[in-house]
Amino acid sequence: MTGGSTPAGPVVAVVLAGGTGSRLYPASRSDRPKQFLSLFESNSLLEQTVSRARDVADEVVVVTRESYADGVRERVPDVDVLVEPVSRDTGPALLYATARVDAAFTDPVILALPSDHLVGTGFAAAIQRGTEVAAATGRLVTFGVEPTRPETGYGYIEPTRRPSAATESDSDAEPDTAWAPVQSFHEKPDPETAESYVAAGHYWNAGLFAWRPSVFLEAAADSPIAGVATALRSIELPATLDAGFTAADVAGVFESVDPVSVDYAIFEVAEEVAVVPVSFPWDDVGAWDALERVVDPDDDGNVTAGTVELHTLDAGDNVVAADEAHVSLIGVSDLAVVTWDDRVLVVPKDRAQDVKQLVRRLEERGEF
């Protein structure tokens, strides 16, 4: 491990790779989720995440759904892969992964990472600080990203106070000054509310977390996924992260649970939650309009991703993504134009979030 272990034991990074990223359709499809895409570099988002995780963790585990497991192993063949008994969003997935890691390691600290976000310089030092807080305080830790704009597409974290260690340059700060108790979590706001959150010193909720297994499992026992926690306690889990192990005994209880994120299931109802602020560049690249935040534009404000040859005439401020395509735009602006495989998507950038509604219709027809 490059970053060093915490006093509590090894840091085990659990990378979440079970989602589809449907708002990036048609690049993202049912058999090719967002984390498998190589939109910005030759490596996929999953490979980039695992590489970052190795800088701060002793072990890296990827948890995913059964249909993606082979694709994960192809892209990151030297990590342990845990297959969820049943796909039920990040709450049950992380509960299952936590129980498995707890059975396989002595007193670990778990670092939970989404597999499909873009992260910039400063990640390692900030994340190491957060795992140390989780180890030292026995709290559930959420990492709060310092906002750079009043974003309406993210949730927000309200601290009880502003911690003193808020940048990657503060990596040597003592754990008790590097965090604050969480006052509350807030849903995605309207523009006016987002401005008030930023002004009040709230953080973006980036879906980055750390905890000691005992703390998480205790919180899960009094949560919407308590039945899953009880089922996991009732069986003997292997002392190794054997990818061939299948929790057939708990598949039924997983199926009986409604999909729920770890935010709703655990963090928003738990009492002892700490926020550790971070200021590294971060974006969840959740929809096509996000590309203009993370890709440098041409002289007309157009941005491209994937492998695309773009030609324009009186066209500007567009997002164009393609897999080996020649695209020409004339007299249009503020569009996202995406061509992947045999499919084409054209949508105004300010309606990029609505792609998810289109995907729901395609899923109902078995066409996603």
* CA–CA gap between residue 16 and residue 114 (Å, rounded): 5
* CA–CA gap between residue 242 and residue 240 (Å, rounded): 5
Q: Which of 112, 94, 101, 89 is nearest to 229 (CA)?
A: 94
Burial class (CB in 10 A: 0-12, 13-18, 19+), 121: exposed
CA–CA distance from 149 to each of 4, 30, 86, 195 (Å)? Answer: 33, 32, 37, 8
CA–CA distance from 234 to each of 98, 257, 301 (Å)? Answer: 15, 17, 57
pLDDT for the residue numbered 176: 56
Cβ contacts of 328-334, under 8 Å, gap ≥ 24: 329/302
* CA–CA gap between residue 115 and residue 130 (Å, rounded): 18
Parse the chain into domains and list their residue ranges: 11-283, 288-364
CB atoms within 10 A of CB 229: 23
- pLDDT tens readout for residues 218-258: 999 999 999 999 999 988 899 999 766 766 778 898 999 99
- pLDDT tens readout for residues 267-316: 999 989 999 999 999 999 999 999 999 999 999 999 999 999 999 999 99
Angle of CA points 78, 276, 144, to nearest 5°: 85
CB atoms within 10 A of CB 160: 12
Query: Is 0.75 surpassed by the pTM of this model?
Result: yes
Residue 175 token pair: 């754990």
pLDDT for the residue numbered 249: 74
Q: Decide: 5 and 11 in contact? Cβ < 8 Å.
A: yes
Over 15-46, what HEC string results? EECCCCCHHHCCCCECCECHHHCCCCCCCCHH
The pLDDT profile of the chain, 368 residues, written as one tens digit per residue, is 444 445 568 999 999 999 999 999 999 999 999 999 999 888 999 999 999 999 999 999 999 999 999 999 999 999 999 999 999 999 999 999 999 999 999 999 999 999 999 999 999 999 999 999 999 999 999 999 999 999 999 999 999 998 864 444 444 445 556 899 999 999 999 999 999 999 999 999 999 999 999 999 999 999 999 999 999 998 889 999 976 676 677 889 899 999 999 999 999 999 899 999 999 999 999 999 999 999 999 999 999 999 999 999 999 999 999 999 999 999 999 999 999 999 999 999 999 999 999 999 999 999 99
The CATH number of 11-283 is which of 3.90.550.10, 3.40.50.720, 1.10.3720.10, 3.40.50.970?
A: 3.90.550.10
Q: Which residues contact 361 (CB under 8 A, 6 or more apart)?
A: none
User: How does 184-202 read in b/e, with b if 16+ C-beta sit within 10 Å?
Assistant: ebbeebeeeebeebbeeeb
